[in-house]
Amino acid sequence: MTESAVSPQHSAFLRAVRGEPVPHTPVWFMRQAGRSLPEYRKVREGVGMLESCMDPDLTTEITLQPVRRYGVDAAIFFSDIVLPLKAVGVDLDIKPGVGPVVATPVRTLADVEAIPDLTPEHVPYVTQAIGQLVRELGATPLIGFAGAPFTVASYLVEGGPSREHALTKAMMFGAPEVWDALMRKIAGIAATYLEVQVRAGASAVQLFDSWAGALAPQDYAASVQPHSARVLEHVGTLGVPRIHFGVGTANLLGAMGEAGADVVGVDWRTPLGTAIGQVGDRAVQGNLDPTLVFAPTDLMLARAAEVIEAGRAARGHVFNLGHGVLPSTDPDQLQRLTEFVQSYPL
């Protein structure tokens, strides 16, 4: 990609993640592609989630919708963390109101070995969609996306979403050889999936670990961090910034940064100033409580100002919610929030 005047490399988002001076605090929202937008619900009518992710034209349209509406500083590729598993032939589906459901959960080493490695040929629709997006987005960077090994492993072992992750931890503690093989398998799939996105034109990536907050620090360090580090290290060789985000990870932020992140995403439970002290010389992303968009606008914006002010202490700061946009969010509130952040004096 040439370093032209319209290159994403000069964007506020990429400047912030590199720790460079910015014209304004950049802002984007996790799950901005979809969820609350009426135009998203219209194009998704009668189309399943995974089917949507495997349609390049639909993926392109959904990814672009929040950029058109809000003028956010980055687009996030519309996908799902289990899409690479579906692509290699794992029997799973995303059930409305439930989430990913796996027909035959992983229990043994043979189950792990039966999962094929991902190749670019498994996901041609991803390459096509990103090529289309990069042409449409111009100077706006596109963030690639993948689920982190622990979270994806949890779906495979539990057979679906879980609050306790009891079966997952039982494997991690009681069958370490199966666990290690499974995590290596998923890390390889995630690394390839992100590489496909970067080679197609994504300017940065986010590794999303929804369930890492279920882990004690010593268990994360011993059984999870090395595998996330493999993914992030591989992406690092491609020369793009890496964001690492988890939910409920106040006690893991330092370790998540050390796994190889250039930017550590912070959920709303941890004050941003506290997080900055834990992640070292890294940029941070976050972290307005997603429910504050339901508060009076003045309160929402006052709290957003607090986040921006706290972010000044970091190497770089990308404004975001502390988790994904909730489906019932009023898009007009996100518009007000975007304009406020982008116009906030530095």
Just list the catalytic residues: 31, 35, 44, 80, 155
Quote the Cα angle for 320-57-142, to 5°. 30
Q: Tell me which residue of 79, 195, 204, 78 sits closest to 141, measured CA to CA.
A: 204
**64 contacts 37 by C-beta, under 8 angstroms:** no
The alpha carbon torsion through 160, 162, 167, 170 (nearest 10 deg) reads: 140
3-state secondary structure (DSSP) of residue 100: strand
C-alpha distances out from residue 255 to 6, 182, 222, 334, Å: 36, 21, 11, 31
Tokens of 298: 């003045």
Distance of alpha carbon 259 from alpha carbon 186, whole angstroms = 16
**29 contacts 334 by C-beta, under 8 angstroms:** yes
What kind and span of H or E run contains 299?
helix 297-311
